Structure 1
């Protein structure tokens, strides 16, 4: 990727850099995602799909979609679980994958090959391309890679960050988003506030779709739940943290997900939101540790130890269990949702409101 000489707005720089990265490199050489850590992750999400499908009234057929499916491991594990314990749900599923990389589509096709006879996958470039009808959407580490804009609060208003070479430059913002966190948060002077217009657009679109038809969408990502601020842009290159503006196209650029803004945009679209809750709480409620014990039973000591370690890595508060959060969007008619027991849903509402901002959570993006 050529480095521009003139200032480029951060979201445009990030979009071009990540497009080059995912088309030319193997991202799994730089980081590992939850589905690759253990089959338990995809199995538990498969169980969540089955229970949610029941709560939706068992629509047949229904769209079972995944956004940002990586190698296809999560969907493959979920489908294997459904085929074994929920065959009616498995037979009703029509699998759709949101993936732009031709190379990753080929990898996903190989992972899902055992299920082609029942639910052959169809690929789309964007969530907006998913077909109409009842739907359950899964999205693990999808929102974090969407391009962000960064604004700096000044005495006169907002400056916006752009990129020149390997450094940030700021200038008075001339194209402020009409909604989102910039419209609702009181940020101290000198602080950075991030907004992800792509994520907010997806939230609004899904909110409208779920208001008009039966369905649910589950988002799992690292991020923060309170109305916060701070610079969370980060990069991984060759498995190590790197300066985000160096070697564009050679590093995975991500930012923490603003779940408060995402949920507000979804509710403005017309759906109900659940959470966010920590990944550890969500997976534990779904039965992660009993499943780990079941898998470890009668296994050699070293294998059993590895299974237990994988469960801890996924759920421990000081690891992915605390860094990653889970939010669900549902049609307003769904009154109970697995994994969110004890969590009161938030009803559809118009965008707006405010409140005091708190510091954004920080931490390394990929476990």
Structure 2
């Protein structure tokens, strides 16, 4: 039974479902979910991520990891983990870069946290036997400092949506219209008293999954040391807005049109993630992606690439603009560091 029919039958029998439940089914249903069955990354797919824009992105994440390891005192063992590693491009560039940090490759126990079988296959083809896989962070051995990277992971974690009406808060849900088709609607919510004040028409998104990841990272890092670097599009301050979107072939499509056929995302709620991490004893700081990459030296790296290949200067310039310009990825995307007390990861010294 196609996912649309399964969801329609579920709603007809049990009533509307939350937006978070709908996202979870569309992305991770074992038979029809987007990531479980047909993730399409890259220019020929549905969306492109920063590591695919330019090698500079992954190289500078590798530089960040090497510098963080130095600031941590060069521990003999460190868990180098990527969550949501896509096709493996980012980790491949990180590993190529950290070879230039004597001792780090030997100290690094490299893990990819991935639930998608098709993506695991792509990662294995690219990275071979240099990595190990886990389905959750809990499966990655503890008792060593953590150095974790997650690029565009938070936006894939489900969120609920609440709409302020003229008479109070209601939850946006997915139900059925008069023709039996999937449709958005509003339902009473028992959490209305816990939501912030807002004008009618405002939408408030709340992701328990994003906050839970922040808490898990905070607890792990407070216990074992280390740092996590989370890069995603989203807000640095609490706010409102309907950010649910579906992407197919690089175009926005109706999120309800074809469940499981498109990538569904919401903006990362960095304030909630950081608060959850701090609640577990870790510290946190945030920059825009443009600020982070500039502080890590992307301008100098671009110049070096142009000197090595003058004929590619135009392409390298366009890649640089895509990654750091305010009207491209530079402002909307944020870089968030969650780290153990007592030190500050590279680039975040002035962001504390």
Tell me if both proteins adopt one fold, taking TM over 0.5 as the criterion.
yes
Shift of 1:156: 5.4
Q: Pick closer, same or farther for the CA change 1:184–1:326 going to 2, 3 Å.
A: farther
Counterpart of 1:337 in structure 2 is 345
Q: What is the aligned residue count? A: 330
Q: For the residues of structure 2 that align with 1:184 and 1:266, how far apart are their CA atoms?
A: 21
Give the deviation of 1:127 after TM superposition.
2.4
Pick the aligned partner of 1:93 from 108, 111, 133.
Answer: 108
Q: Distance in 1 between matches of 2:307 and 2:293?
A: 20
**Residue 287 of structure 1 aligns with which residue?**
297
Q: Answer yes or no: is the 8 Å Cα contact 1:68–1:140 preserved in 2.
A: yes
Gaps of 5+ in 2: 176-180
| Secondary structure of residue in 2 paired with 1:229 | coil
Equivalent residue number for residue 134 of structure 1: 145
Deviation for aligned residue 1:300: 4.1
- Which of 305, 310, 327 matches 2:314? 305
CA distance in 2, matches of 1:184, 1:215: 34
Match of 2:187 among 164, 171, 174: 171
TM-score w.r.t. length of structure 2: 0.90
Distance 1:187 1:91 in 2: 53
1:124 touches 1:130 (CA, 8 Å); kept in 2? yes
- Mapped partners of 2:182, 2:76: distance in 1: 52
SS at 2:330's partner residue?
Answer: helix
Task: State which drifts further: 2-11 or 136-145.
Answer: 2-11
The answer to whether the Cα contact below 8 Å between 1:278 and 1:324 also exists between their aligned partners in 2 is yes
Q: 1 CA distance for matches of 2:326 and 2:37?
A: 34
Which of the residues 186, 191, 205 maps onto 2:197? 186
SS in 2 for 1:22: helix
The answer for the alignment partner of 2:332 in structure 1 is 323
Q: Can you give the 5+ residue segments of structure 1 that lack an aligned partner in the other structure?
A: 346-367
Give the alignment partner of residue 32 of structure 1, picking from 48, 59, 69: 48
1:320 alignment partner, SS class: coil
How much does 1:263 deviate?
Answer: 1.0
The TM-score, its normalising length taken from structure 1, stands at 0.86
Which shifted more, 147-156 or 316-325?
147-156
In the superposition, relative to structure 1, how do residues 287 and 320 fare at CA in structure 2: closer, same or farther (>3 Å)? Answer: same
| Displacement of 1:157 | 4.4
Match of 1:258 in 2: 269
Distance, in Å, in 2 between the alignment partners of 1:162 and 1:42 is 38
Q: Partner residue of 2:63?
A: 47
Q: Which residue of 2 aligns with 1:212?
A: 223
Measured after TM superposition, the shift of residue 249 of structure 1 is 0.5
Write the deviation string for residues 74-109 of structure 1: whole angstroms up to 9, x where unpaired.
Answer: 0110100111x1031111111111110111111111
Alignment counterpart, residue 126 of structure 2, candidates 111, 120, 138? 111
1:192 & 1:221 partners in 2: Cα distance? 20
1:128 is displaced (CA, Å) by: 2.8
2:58·2:90 contact (CA, 8 Å) conserved in 1?
yes
State the distance in 1 between where 2:37 and 2:216 align: 30
Instruction: Name segments (4+ residues, structure 1) moved above 6 Å.
Output: none
Measure how far apart 1:53 and its partner are: 0.9
Deviation at 1:154, TM superposition (A): 4.0
